[in-house]
Amino acid sequence: MGVGTDTLLREIETVLPSVDDKKLRKIAEKVLEERRLTEEEALHLFESDNLPLLGLLAEYRNRLKNGEYAYFVVNVQINPTNVCIYGCKFCAFAVKGRNHPRAYEMSLEEILQKVERIYSLGGREVHIVGGIPPHWRYEDYLNLLREIKRRFPEAVLKAYTAIEVYHMAKISKKSIKEVLLDLKEAGLSVLPGGGAEIFNEEKRKKIAPFKASAKEYLEVHRIAHSLGIPTNITMLYGHIEDYRDRVEHMSYVRRLQDETGGFQVFIPLKYHPEGTELGGELTSSVDDLKTIAIARLFLDNFDHIKAYWVTLGERVAQLALNFGADDIDGTILEEKIVHSAGTKAALGQAKEKLIELIRGAGKTPAERDTFYNIVKVY
């Protein structure tokens, strides 16, 4: 299915002589030689309007890493509560206090029912992320994982972002390392990548003034990697950041990956402004595809780049599979955070729909587990 690296190489070599931008041609040659791009070169790619060439280059690099496969996972996302101590200006999901008319908090039994549903569909990944409520004790976070593992021993728990881990350390008066070891003992397998937002500190303070700093956030991931806990990492784009901020963000990520090798996947997250204090406009599909393609080209030490269909929508996520992305996430079943901000994506996807979407992109669907081991090829 699809085109191979040889065909892509021929297409690129055919197109390059007609490219007037000499700097872009040199960058393309570096990609073909599998050499690392600089921050300034990544910035030039953002400023370029040659989207077709960017797509060819990104897909060439992706094919070298992942062949014809595009991955999905049978998973469930659980957002236990939207009550949160932070008032992030880009977030339409969270509310302050349990008395807010939109406030909710799932019972343990409700959460276990959602896990049971994904089990019945053959899935094992349980992704837990939500608000950070002021009334939750440290033990509450641990007990939730313990109870899920007690009832569903084969569940793979991808739970709590670095922001939540940092908060747990504060309320428990424990070190980050101690908290991560406690979480691991309680059943944690992977840290999800949410909460990264944008690492430029000036912009970060404007959109998330009370969250852990970029340095603090990355330190949680560094320590997790040292303990053998793999993590994912995101970048929220399309708000008040600019292209240089995006490149800076990815540069931080690339340096830490050079150091630890502990990141599994990079996930550009499209900002949705509806219902947020920050407001703004949605990014264009061109910007979405460009961001994914540049992520694939710049992050040469990452095996996987995710086109998260919940934020991108099905059509753009499908297109992204030919712009350097190799993963579209999974069935999810239920998601509240991005839907609070107005995404029109479906609330959940059947496995068959994801397979169809991948095939429509000319790729071979590969069901994976949380760690990117292939479960089944379709």
pLDDT (tens digit per residue) in 55-101: 999 999 999 999 999 999 999 999 999 999 998 999 988 998 888 98
Q: Which residues pair with 221 in a beta bridge?
A: none
Residue ending a domain, among 50, 65, 80, is 65
pLDDT in tens, the chain (378 residues): 457 899 999 999 999 999 999 999 999 999 999 999 999 999 999 999 999 999 999 999 999 999 999 999 999 999 999 999 998 999 988 998 888 989 999 999 999 999 998 888 888 999 999 999 999 999 999 999 999 999 999 999 999 999 999 999 999 999 999 999 999 999 999 999 999 999 999 999 999 999 999 999 999 999 999 999 999 999 999 999 999 999 999 999 999 999 999 999 999 999 999 999 999 999 999 999 999 999 999 999 999 999 999 899 999 999 999 999 999 998 877 544 454 444 454 455 788 999 999 999 999 999 999 999 999 999
- Asked if residue 159 and residue 28 are part of one domain, the reply reads no
Cα–Cα distance measured from residue 327 to residue 72, given in angstroms and rounded to the nearest whole number: 6
Residues counted in the chain: 378
CA distances to 10, 17, 307, 328 from 47, in Å: 25, 20, 21, 26
Domains held by the chain: number: 2
Residue ending a domain, among 46, 65, 84, is 65
Each residue of 91-133: pLDDT tens digit? Answer: 988 998 888 989 999 999 999 999 998 888 888 999 999 999 9
- Asked if residue 51 and residue 75 are part of one domain, the reply reads no
Identify the three-state secondary structure at position 86.
Answer: coil
Q: Are 266 and 304 in contact (CB under 8 A)?
A: yes
Domain holding 309: CATH number? 3.20.20.70
Cα–Cα distance measured from residue 370 to residue 265, given in angstroms and rounded to the nearest whole number: 11
Check the CA dihedral 223-244-269-342 and report its sign.
positive
Q: Are 229 and 190 in contact (CB under 8 A)?
A: yes
CA distances to 331, 364, 375 from 75, in Å: 6, 19, 13
Identify the three-state secondary structure at position 375.
Answer: strand
**Residue 212 structural domain:** 71-377
pTM of the model: 0.95
Cα–Cα distance measured from residue 118 to residue 157, given in angstroms and rounded to the nearest whole number: 13
